Amino acid sequence: MLQIQELLSGNIPLLYAFDEKPLCVDCGLMDYQKALSLQLELHEHVANEELPALLLLCEHPPVITLGLHAPHNQLLCSKEQLEAMDIHVVPTRRGGGSTAHNPGQLVLYPIMKLSAFGFRIATFVHAIEQLGMQVLKKTEVSSMRKARYPGLWVGDKKIASLGTQIKQGVSMHGIAINLYNDLTLFDYIVPCGIEGVQMTNVIREGGKHIPMEQLKDIVQSNWTSMCLRQKHSNET
């Protein structure tokens, strides 16, 4: 897996330019605004075919983000109160509504030209959810999809939030999987604008604690094989 320092240095091995596999990049703990700016920059390079498909793996310091669906952006306290607690509120152009990120949550940002792998938007979203399900399965937590509600659920509790943006046929944003994070941050919002929804994580569900680095390796392996299967099935 490529480290973020290698990507930012510009010294990406030439073979990646001719490799059909998506390139996974470990960003570690990264400020959300910095990660958003990085996505925008990389999106342009991928759209111009100057970089291969990318999957960024991140954790973020505490932050609340808003989506394009204004009715689903619901804060339960003022932005000023949140800023006083050093919790920034960041508007984005992804789908969905308000959500929260903090350490212990694994966030995956695929930046890829969907047509290059034969993805339609629906199959792309399905693939991202499947990737999250595989991560949670490793922790012995069984998750599921719920019709009309993107993301992953354990019964009626939400364990992963999903919101994407497709521009010039290239994806941005992605899925946030609650592993070992402090869930109290979600008390300041109505997650995804769904009244009464309860958030959960691997700890609350009694799952197995797997080191984050091991889970990132699982993500890399599963995402690579998933994308290549999709690409090859589309070519046959």
Q: Which two tokens stand for residue 31?
A: 């400020």
Q: Roughly how many angstroms between the first and final C-alpha of the chain, as a whole number? A: 29
Fill in the DSSP letter of residue 197. Answer: -
Question: Can 227 be counted among the known catalytic residues?
Answer: no
Residue 174 Cα to chain centre, angstroms:
3
Identify the residue whose tokens are 């990264």. Answer: 30
How far is residue 215's CA from residue 202's CA, in Å, rounded to a whole number? 13
What does the DSSP assignment read for 17-77? GG--SPEEEEEEE--HHHHHHHHHHHHHHHHTTSS--EEEEEE-SSEEEE-S-GGG--BSS
- Which residue among 24, 27, 192, 227 is the active-site one? 192
Buried (b) or exposed (e) across 140-160, using 16+ Cβ within 10 A?
Answer: ebebebeeeebbbbbeeebbb
In 3D, which of 44, 172, 57, 171 has the Cα closest to residue 117? 171
Return the active site residues: 192
